[in-house]
Amino acid sequence: MKVGLFIPCYINAVYPEVGIASYKLLKNLGIDVDYPSNQTCCGQPMANAGFENKANDLASHFDEIFNNYEYVVGPSASCVAFIRDHYDQLLNKKEHRCFCEKKTYEICEFIHDIIKPTSLSAVFPHKVSIQNSCHGVRLLHLSSPSELNIPYYNKLHNLLSLVKDIEIVEPERCDECCGFGGMFSIEEHAVSGQMGRDKIQRHIDTGAEYIVGADSSCLMHQTGIIEREKLSIKTIHVIQILASGL
């Protein structure tokens, strides 16, 4: 299969190590992966801020450059959810049918559901607490939302369980928002900050050394609080663990 690697703009600018780990992991799993260097922002920030028209051309550009890949894979639940849930509507305004909407996957979702590895070469001798992002839980179904009262599952936990020497835990109220929420963290920064502090404390209460998640935006929000308040925990993207040692 031919996979186009989509690296969201904020990961490219702030967390390039996550993009590199994504590429290395997919290659190690035997995937024919390509990184289109002319890719840009998917348009989510503009649309979320109420400037949907400014996202139209970005959606068209994304759809054009990723059109010929069998799958489009990216390390961001929120960006992937935006593409899958909104691109068809955005592109219909330009009388253009969306090609990428149904073949775009969050990278953990793709590895778990499509590749289905039974082993990994990764080693991570640390205790980690899983951060379940809102988009990942409720739009991409990376884990089961508690409000549905269905049997619990967690795809991040399943993948991390393939890593040698790791100890995996989850915090109390494991699918509650960390407070980032994109524009919410700017418009309601006091509420956002308190939600983040509460979430981090629940992670710390597990005794974990790391908060691990699939959305760098949520981890960025929590990292800012951790560094400002000098808290005794660190953050890491799940793909960096799955690709450790490559």
Q: Is 210 helix (H, G, I), strand (E, B) or coil?
A: strand
Is pLDDT at 92 greater than 90 in this prediction?
A: no
Q: Measured between alpha carbons, how far is 215 from 11 in angstroms, rounded to an integer?
A: 10
pLDDT in tens, 45-82: 898 888 888 888 999 999 999 999 999 999 999 999 99
Per-residue model confidence (pLDDT) at position 95: 61
On the 0-12 / 13-18 / 19+ scale of CB atoms within 10 A, 228 is exposed
Averaged pLDDT for residues 107-111: 98
pLDDT in tens, 127-139: 999 999 988 999 9
38-57: burial string, b at 16+ Cβ within 10 Å, e else: ebebbbbbbbbeeebeebbe
pLDDT in tens, 170-214: 999 998 887 777 777 767 778 888 988 999 999 999 999 999 999
Per-residue model confidence (pLDDT) at position 205: 97
pLDDT band at 99 (very low <50, low <70, confident <90, very high): confident
CB proximity list for 97: less than 8 A, separation 6 or greater: 91
Q: Which residue has the tokens 């619990």?
A: 152
User: What domains can you pick out in the chain, each with its CATH number?
Assistant: 2-115 (3.40.50), 127-242 (3.40.50)
pTM confidence score = 0.92
Please give the biggest Cα pair distance in the chain: 53
Q: Which residue type is seen at 30?
A: G
